[in-house]
Amino acid sequence: MTAKLFSILIPTWNNLKFLQLCVESIRKNSTYEHEILIHINDGSDGTLEWVKEQGLSYTHSPSNVGVCLALNQLRPLVTTDYMLFMNDDMYVCPEWDKALYDEIQSLHHKMFFLSSTLIQPRKFFCKSVIAPANYGETVETFEEERLLKEYKTLPHGDWMGATWPPNIVHRDIWDLVGGYSVEYSPGMYSDPDFSAKLWKVGVRLFKGVDKSRVYHFEARSTHRIVKNDGSTQFLRKWGITSASFMRDVLHRGEPWREDAPMHEQLQKDLLRSKLKRALTIFRDVRIKNIWEF
């Protein structure tokens, strides 16, 4: 039996058609063998039965526990050195994994956080993503053949500020920071929080790899959940807004540079963040007083 290279962690919530396509693409388009680990939230759409039929390793919760707890529940199933978080509505393009592993092998250390480069159908605010590049927004309208012909030709480049999936980290570093923070459940702003935890323990290489390309359907399930106030949680925890951390510290979406200095706006943004943080506390006290009457 071939040794597995990555442990691919995929949380899913009643999204069976996308999950099936995602798993199929991993099996078909990967250069190396990987272990696929699924956390099934609910699974009443047939996901649980299908995952069992496929012989995939999984964890299961009867209701949606969110992405943070889902990922952490999968941790005991991991048998490889590298943990890769992927959404269930993603389709990996050929050699996506080779590009990541080539990058890892060139580093000779564990202190890294890498992301694949996403291709998305709709306009997107961050330059780290190739968008708009519409190859379908549903499984039924997916133009797989056209994507496979064209994905390499879409102009981009390596970029700074790895944060969202697909992302990969050494399992020792995952364990060092304690995985994803469950206080962010069901998961809003858990991605920048994980990056901030990595920065806190000394990781400085946050890189998006251009040649590792993954199509993202953007089949958001966030409209089905009660969202946590992740932006406020991040601000209170780290003393800086998520937007400032991404812009000033990680430089997310900027072309890759080996040594990027802190953004010149950082000190101003830290001062502004302190004020915003204080205002959130005042806001909560005011709300509490209203309810006491």
pLDDT in tens, 155-195: 999 999 999 999 999 999 999 999 999 999 888 999 999 99
Which of 4-8, 10-14, 34-38, 234-238 is the least confident region? Answer: 234-238
31: region left, alpha or beta (phi > 0 left; psi from -120 to 50 alpha): alpha
Sign of CA dihedral 221, 124, 103, 193: negative
Query: Quick one: pLDDT band at residue 289, thresholds 50, 70, 90?
Result: very low
The whole-number pLDDT of residue 282 equals 56
pLDDT at 33 over 50: yes
What tokens appear for 4 in the block? 């597995």
Q: Model confidence at 41, in pLDDT bands (50, 70, 90)?
A: very high
What pLDDT is attached to residue 259?
79
What would the pLDDT profile of 46-83 be if each residue is shown by its tens digit? 999 999 999 999 999 999 999 999 999 999 999 999 99
Q: Which residues contact 38 (CB under 8 A, 6 or more apart)?
A: 10, 11, 12, 19, 51, 56, 57, 58, 59, 74
Q: How far is CA 224 from CA 68, 121, 184, in A?
A: 16, 21, 16
How far separated are the first and last CA of the chain, in Å rounded?
68
Q: What is the pLDDT at residue 258?
A: 84
Distance CA 93, CA 148 (A): 7
Determine contact, residues 203/113, Cβ cutoff 8 Å.
yes
Give pTM, 2 decimals: 0.91
The angle subtended at Cα 184 by Cα 213 and Cα 237, nearest 5°, is: 105
As a whole-number percent, the residues of the chain with pLDDT over 70 amount to: 88
**Is the pLDDT confidence value at 287 over 90?**
no
Structure tokens at 21: 């396509």
pLDDT in tens, 108-159: 999 999 999 999 999 999 999 999 999 999 999 999 999 999 999 999 999 9
Q: Quick one: pLDDT at residue 225?
A: 75
Query: How far apart (Å, rounded) are the C-alpha atoms in residues 1 and 70?
Result: 28
- 224 confidence band (pLDDT: 50, 70, 90): confident
Strands (DSSP E) along 120-224, which ranges? 159-160, 167-170, 205-216
